[in-house]
Amino acid sequence: MKLKTSIAALGLAGLTAVATACSGADTGPAGGTARDVTQLELTPTTAAAAGAVDSVDWLLEDEPDSLDLDTQGGSAGRTVLTNVCERLYQLQPDMTVRPWLVDKATRPDPKTLVLTVRDGVTFHDGSAMTVDDVLFSLRRHADPDMSEADEFENVTSMKKTGAHEITVRFKEPDALFTKALAGDAGLVYQQKRVQEQGKDFGTPGQADACSGPYRLASWKSGDSVTLERYDGYWGDKPLTRKVVFRWAEDSAMVNALRTGAADGAYTDSVGTAAALDGKKGIDLHFGPSTATLDLIPTERGGLADPDIRKALSLSLDRAGIAKSGYGGLAQPWATPVGSGAWGYAKSVFTAAQKELTGAPASPTPADIARAKKLVQNAEHKPDGPIVIGTDSTQGRLVIANGVRAALQQIGLKAQIKTVPSAEYGEFYGDKSARADIDVLVADWYISKSDPVGFYDNGVSDDSNNWVGFHSTAYDAKVEQAKRTLDDAERAELVVDIQRRFTDAAVWIPVAQTPTALALSDKLTGPPASMAYLYHPWAASLGAKKG
Amino acid sequence: MTAVPADAPAPAPTVRRVRRPVAALVATGFLALVVLAAVFAPLLAPYAPDAVDLSSSLVGTGGEHLLGTDASGQDLLSRVLYGARTSLVAPVLLLALAAVIGVSLGTLAAWRGGWIDTFVSRLTDVMYAFPGLLFVVLIIAVFGTGVTTSVLGLGLAFAPTIAKYTRSVALAERAKPYIDAYRVQGMGGARICVRHLVPNLARSIAGYLVVLFGEALMSLATLSYLGFGTQPPSSDWGLMVQEGQSAIVQGALLPALVPGTAIAAVVVAFNVAGVHLADRLGTRR
């Protein structure tokens, strides 16, 4: 036993010695080449492709759990399936929404939506898409057991009212419904095939039931998913014939992309993108996303006092965190929703964001003085140390350390509690899992390109309002915004809601994280924004040269 | 007349050169330095081990930071110096606990024999068959993460190894005539074990424990690496390796390399010194 230990340890020592020699005057490239966080430009698209490609190898961060997003949604499954299945509305790279399998939509009154379904669409077995398929799909999504059921809470009825027409009626006017139809609530499945496959629908070995530009050629469990171009597609013909998906974690993904073993990937982790920055043969594109890094105060109560939360927000070095933990590929941000959520009234939201002063990129001495005063005058100062919950991924750990330093700077004690990454997800859904922490270092994104979709989380009885923020006026404004169909009017309401949310520091925003697309320098075309989760991105992928 | 063997005759003087245990001396010297560094960490460390400086993230070796910094800008030299404290003290506590349990069980089995020996032997066999780390992870799942749980869990996991070893040396010791002499004098079994048998085993067991020290340190570092041991901002070496791992892909090797090298060097040094010491104390005869 001791011999083995000695050999193992000697081996490790030898390896590290070699590595030391190799690393030489290593100064840590991330420290030396981190981007300037203020200069990060987000572009929703990449240059249009000019030439055809036979096959592309694409990487996911993990294998899809299922290709039935109604039962098990996940970004890996969504990244694949968005090329196979189509939605009634489609999210565009610039995060706007437009009708897709819907030919025309009318609102005879604010509580009624009439959808005219597109003609000439065929499923991958060649049969035509009918209004019955669409209605079946909508009712399937609305089933209380399905993940999209909450999008249909305001719906009173969905009926076929013509050969190509479905009429949806609402309890109250619903500004977010068409946006939800550009997400998983708008997926259209072939009724016959879904019913035939029953519980096996969406599992390896089953054919798809969709009409998109690609068909599911194979899913070899544990190995790969292959999509092939569907020649009977009603829209533009994709330039790439075949896309093969495999999966790899951070360092394996970086190596595969660097060595050319894979042609591209949308990286969930900004750290992966940081490792690929400036590498030969790889183009990195950054696009808008709704995702942000936030601190979410919990029920435990260490941050129950709004003044303490505001003080923490004022003293947090967001620029330092973005540079240290995310290689400069995150942007200090003053709201809990990324700019990708601005699917309308962009100028209004941009201006409103600039007016917020409670979340400085780098705290000035005046900010620190203000924070200290807030702590001094706080009604409920925390008794013990404020416990920061995180896992030990680099970015989150840097945020946790940044929060610890900020709290210490304003005279409060802090303590970090880490859990293994496999347990980290429980913090979000399980109240008892976060019983020992006062604040969670969190990633958050919304699927709809409308900030109202986020500010729901601050409503008094919302399950994500962990800290117990209560404001009748806030609740009323959110409800009003959800019912306001006019974009400009809704944007004004959202700005007001955003100000109330940030004034009370219900959550403490840290930074927005862009979507990062790593692509071989021979390829171009797909969107660089978060739209890739809901847009057939592979259909626009092709060679740079014709 | 006692049955205690007479001292061995002094070796005849020879002109043969005595081979000096250079490796063991170097290892012992290195360990002494590590212990001194741990003791005087507050005087030696240029920064507080948990001082965050986000403007100095992943800085390489240089004048301000001799061994560079980690992603949060914490000085690696200061952290590795302070980290020596938990990294050295925790294995000592772990082995102390394992020794108390293991020596008691081993001595009991050897002394009483019969069904007690069979029971203890089968119990230690079962514990042996169960991977130690998995056993500790199960304990941690029940009692929660933290250095105390890790030490207790690993203490229990190491105990069967020591029990088995103690039993084998105690069996040989028990057969010696001086034990019979004490019995004839009417001395009780417990007294003979505590006053005479175990103290006579001490040299062997101590040598064995030194050899186990490296393994204990590595096991604790593994638990910290897996996120079950100490919590940030602790500068435990295993935890430091875990925290530094993500930076490797960005080309910054130091945050994982510095604590990793420290663990490897101390484990090797303990094994080299431990094997030599065990030979000298008669453990391996």
Beta strand A386-390 with A414-418 is parallel
- Please tell me the least confidently modeled range out of A90-104, A357-371, A483-497, B15-29: B15-29
Contacts of A35 in chain B (CB under 8 A): none
Integer-rounded Cα Rg, in Å, for chain B is: 23
Instruction: Answer whether A276's CB lies under 8 Å from A257's CB.
Output: yes
Q: Which domains does chain B have, with CATH numbers?
A: 23-43+69-281 (1.10.3720.10)
Q: Give the DSSP letter string of A254-292.
A: HHHHHHTS--EEEES-HHHHHHHTT-TTEEEEEE--S-E
Q: Is A184 in the same domain as A223?
A: no
Question: Which residue type is seen at A260?
Answer: G
Q: Is A359 in the same domain as A488?
A: yes
Query: Is there a domain that residue A203 lies in?
Result: no
pLDDT tens-digit series, residues B23-74: 899 999 999 999 999 999 999 999 999 999 988 889 999 989 999 999 999 9
Q: Is A237 in the same domain as A335?
A: no
Average pLDDT over residues A308-318: 96
Query: Is there a domain that residue A16 lies in?
Result: no
Query: Is there a domain that residue A42 lies in?
Result: yes
Q: How far B120 CA lies from chain A's nearest CA (Å)?
A: 22
The CATH number given to whatever domain includes residue A400 is 3.10.105.10
Query: Is there a domain that residue A21 lies in?
Result: no
Q: Contact A324/B254, CB-based, under 8 Å?
A: no
Does residue A284 come out as left (phi exceeding 0), alpha (psi in the -120 to 50 range) or beta? beta
Average pLDDT over residues A124-143: 96
What CA–CA distance (Å, rounded) separates A445 from A46? 22
Task: Report chain A's mean pLDDT, rounded to a whole number.
Answer: 90
Q: How far B167 CA lies from chain A's nearest CA (Å)?
A: 18
Phi, psi of A377 (to 5 degrees): -90, 0
Q: Is A501 in the same domain as A394?
A: yes
Domain end residue (candidates: A136, A163, A197): A197
- Nearest chain B alpha carbon to A28: B252
Cross-strand partners of A332: A511
Q: Is A141 in the same domain as A226?
A: no
CB atoms within 10 A of CB B32: 12
Q: What is the ipTM score, two decimals?
A: 0.74
pLDDT tens-digit series, residues B230-273: 888 889 998 899 889 888 887 889 999 999 999 999 989 988 98
Q: Is A365 in the same domain as A460?
A: yes
Q: Which residues of A313-326 are buried (b: 16+ CB within 10 A; e: fewer)?
A: bbbbbbbbbbbbbb
Q: Contact B145/A25, CB-based, under 8 Å?
A: no
pLDDT-derived band at B202, boundaries 50, 70, 90:
confident
- Please tell me the least confidently modeled range out of A23-32, A381-390, B165-174: A23-32
Query: Is there a domain that residue A151 lies in?
Result: yes
For the cut 50, the answer to whether the pLDDT of residue A531 exceeds it is: yes
Q: Is A186 in the same domain as A306?
A: no
Q: Residue A219: helix, strand or coil by DSSP?
A: strand
- The count of structural domains within chain A is 3
What CA–CA distance (Å, rounded) separates A326 from A395? 6
Q: Contact A30/B214, CB-based, under 8 Å?
A: no
Cross-strand partners of A59: A246, A265
Question: Of A493, A446, A473, A479, which is closest to residue A174 (Cα–Cα)?
Answer: A479
Q: Which residue range(s) make up the domain with A333?
A: 292-512
Which residues have CB under 8 Å from A318's CB, separation 6+?
Answer: A332, A333, A359, A360, A361, A362, A510, A511
Q: How far A22 CA lies from chain B's nearest CA (Å)?
A: 10
Domain end residue (candidates: A197, A224, A256): A197
For the cut 50, the answer to whether the pLDDT of residue B214 exceeds it is: yes
Query: Is there a domain that residue A222 lies in?
Result: yes
The CATH number given to whatever domain includes residue A78 is 3.40.190.10
For the cut 90, the answer to whether the pLDDT of residue A250 exceeds it is: no
For the cut 60, the answer to whether the pLDDT of residue A464 exceeds it is: yes
Task: Report chain B's mean pLDDT, rounded to a whole number.
Answer: 86
- At A392 the pLDDT is 81
Question: Which residue type is seen at A154?
Answer: N
Phi, psi of B151 (to 5 degrees): -65, -45
Which residues have CB under 8 Å from B11's CB, separation 6+?
Answer: none
Q: Which member of A272, A394, A420 has the closest CB to residue B247?
A: A394
For the cut 80, the answer to whether the pLDDT of residue A116 exceeds it is: yes
For the cut 60, the answer to whether the pLDDT of residue A29 exceeds it is: no
- At B17 the pLDDT is 57
Count of residues in chain A: 546
CB atoms within 10 A of CB A475: 15
Question: Which residue type is seen at B206?
Answer: A
pLDDT tens-digit series, residues B1-29: 334 444 444 454 555 555 678 889 999 99
For the cut 50, the answer to whether the pLDDT of residue B201 exceeds it is: yes
pLDDT-derived band at B223, boundaries 50, 70, 90:
confident
- At B79 the pLDDT is 96
Average pLDDT over residues A139-161: 94
Helix (H) or strand (E) holding A440: strand A439-444
Q: Contact A9/B243, CB-based, under 8 Å?
A: no
Query: Is there a domain that residue A17 lies in?
Result: no
Instruction: Answer whether A516's CB lies under 8 Å from A266's CB.
Output: yes
CB atoms within 10 A of CB A406: 24
CB atoms within 10 A of CB A545: 9
- At B282 the pLDDT is 61
Instruction: Answer whether B94's CB lies under 8 Å from B249's CB.
Output: no
pLDDT-derived band at A237, boundaries 50, 70, 90:
very high
- At B10 the pLDDT is 47
- Please tell me the least confidently modeled range out of A254-263, A456-465, B224-233: B224-233
Q: Contact A20/B257, CB-based, under 8 Å?
A: yes
Start-to-end CA span in chain A (Å): 62
Question: Of A98, A133, A107, A108, which is closest to residue A119 (Cα–Cα)?
Answer: A133
What CA–CA distance (Å, rounded) separates A148 from A71? 9
Which residues have CB under 8 Å from A533's CB, separation 6+?
Answer: A75, A78, A79, A82, A447
Taking CA atoms, B23 is separated from B28, B207, B272, in Å, by: 8, 17, 7
Instruction: Answer whether A317's CB lies under 8 Å from A406's CB.
Output: yes
Q: Give the DSSP letter string of B205-266.
A: HHHHHHHHHHHHHHHHHHHHHTTSS--TT---HHHHHHHHHHHHTTT--HHHHHHHHHHHHH
CB atoms within 10 A of CB A528: 26
pLDDT-derived band at B221, boundaries 50, 70, 90:
confident
Q: Contact A26/B60, CB-based, under 8 Å?
A: yes
Q: Residue A241: helix, strand or coil by DSSP?
A: strand
What CA–CA distance (Å, rounded) separates A465 from A431? 11
Integer-rounded Cα Rg, in Å, for chain A is: 25
- Nearest chain B alpha carbon to A20: B257
CB atoms within 10 A of CB A17: 14
Q: Is A318 in the same domain as A262?
A: no
What CA–CA distance (Å, rounded) separates B189 from B194? 9
Q: Which member of A19, A34, A325 has the closest CB to residue B253?
A: A19
Q: Is A255 in the same domain as A342?
A: no
Q: Is A524 in the same domain as A486?
A: no
Domain end residue (candidates: A140, A165, A197): A197
- At B179 the pLDDT is 87
Q: Contact B267/A9, CB-based, under 8 Å?
A: yes
What CA–CA distance (Å, rounded) separates A310 from A410? 11
Q: Which of A23-32, A499-508, B165-174 has the highest mean pLDDT?
A: A499-508
Q: Is A324 in the same domain as A442?
A: yes
Query: Is there a domain that residue A361 lies in?
Result: yes
What CA–CA distance (Å, rounded) separates A412 from A306? 15
What CA–CA distance (Å, rounded) separates A24 from A28? 11
- At A16 the pLDDT is 46
Instruction: Answer whether A197's CB lies under 8 Å from A209's CB.
Output: yes
Contacts of B143 in chain A (CB under 8 A): none
DSSP code at position A91: E
Which residues have CB under 8 Å from A416's CB, separation 6+?
Answer: A387, A388, A390, A400, A401, A404, B231, B232, B233
Instruction: Answer whether B214's CB lies under 8 Å from B199's CB.
Output: no
Average pLDDT over residues B129-148: 84
Q: Is A431 in the same domain as A473?
A: yes
pLDDT tens-digit series, residues B80-120: 999 999 888 999 999 999 999 999 999 999 988 889 889 98
- For an interface test with A, which of B56, B246, B257, B267 has the most A Cβ atoms less than 10 Å from its Cβ? B246
Please, what's the largest Cα pairwise distance for chain A? 82
The CATH number given to whatever domain includes residue A95 is 3.90.76.10
Q: Contact B253/A31, CB-based, under 8 Å?
A: no
pLDDT tens-digit series, residues A387-438: 999 988 889 999 999 999 999 999 999 999 888 777 888 999 889 999 999 9
Question: Which residue type is seen at A61?
Answer: E
- Nearest chain A alpha carbon to B248: A251
Phi, psi of B122 (to 5 degrees): -70, -40
Count of residues in chain B: 285
- For an interface test with B, which of A37, A269, A316, A392 has the most B Cβ atoms less than 10 Å from its Cβ? A392
Q: Which member of A9, A275, A415 has the closest CB to residue B214?
A: A9
pLDDT tens-digit series, residues A465-495: 999 999 999 999 999 999 999 999 999 999 9
- At A73 the pLDDT is 75
pTM of the full structure: 0.82
